[in-house]
Structures are given as structure tokens and as C-alpha cells.
Amino acid sequence: NAGVTQTPKFRILKIGQSMTLQCTQDMNHNYMYWYRQDPGMGLKLIYYSVGAGITDKGEVPNGYNVSRSTTEDFPLRLELAAPSQTSVYFCASNTLTGTSGNTIYFGEGSWLTVV
């Protein structure tokens, strides 16, 4: 069972570079999320999407962009990377239907270092 898949798992970026973190889910979930987690802290919501073509800002959206062209994919774009964006990034998804309607499924994380 694939669930939520994130790539890459590890990446080192130089200041000012751009990159895209990929996220795909195979559970036909409407809702998808991007979180970041700094060392020793809980997760903070960056962006979320309630369906294809619909995205909205979370708690810490500055420096990031997202798109949702299909139900399965929810890429996170970092423009002009800064050291403050060094973090672990988690993609997640859920649906409102069925017995697991309140369960959010997380990917394994992408470790990003900006130097």
C-alpha cells in the first residue's frame, strides 16, 4: 500500500535556489496538506487543498507556493530558498467519507537543508 509518497527524501539547496517537493497519494483523498517541522517542535501547516484546483494558506505560507492540478498530486514549490526553510516537510491527506474519515495520513517526510 503506497499511501502518501514524498520525493525527494533528502535534499541540500544553496541559498537562492528553487525546488519542488513532490507529493502524491493513491487513496483518492480530496484533502491534502503540507506541514513543516523544525527540530524539537510540532508540525506547522504551510498550505492545504480541499480538492483539485483549490488551495489555501495555512499558518506559515511565506516563501512557498502550491498547486493542485489533479486529485493525486500536491507539489510544494520553494522559491529563493533561505536558511530559515531548513526543515522536515510532511505531506498529508485525508477524506471525509468512510470509517477513516477523521484520519489524516502522513508521508515519511522530506529533509531539506539550505546552506
Partner 1 sequence: DAKTTQPNSMESNEEEPVHLPCNHSTISGTDYIHWYRQLPSQGPEYVIHGLTSNVNNRMASLAIAEDRKSSTLILHRATLRDAAVYYCILSRRIQGAQKLVFGQGTRLTINP
- Interaction with partner 1 in 63-82: which residues (CB under 8 A)? none
Q: Which of 5, 20, 22, 30 binds partner 1 (CB under 8 A)?
A: 30
Q: Which of 19, 58, 60, 72 binds partner 1 (CB under 8 A)?
A: 58
For residue 108, the minimal CB distance to partner 1 (Å) is 5
What is the per-residue DSSP string for the chain?
---EEEE-SEEEE-TT--EEEEEEESS--SEEEEEEE-TTS-EEEEEEEEETTEEEE-S--TTEEE--SSSSB--EEE-S--GGG-EEEEEEEE-SSSTTTTPPEE---EEEEE-
Does 59 sit near partner 1 (CB under 8 A)?
A: yes
Does 103 sit near partner 1 (CB under 8 A)?
A: yes
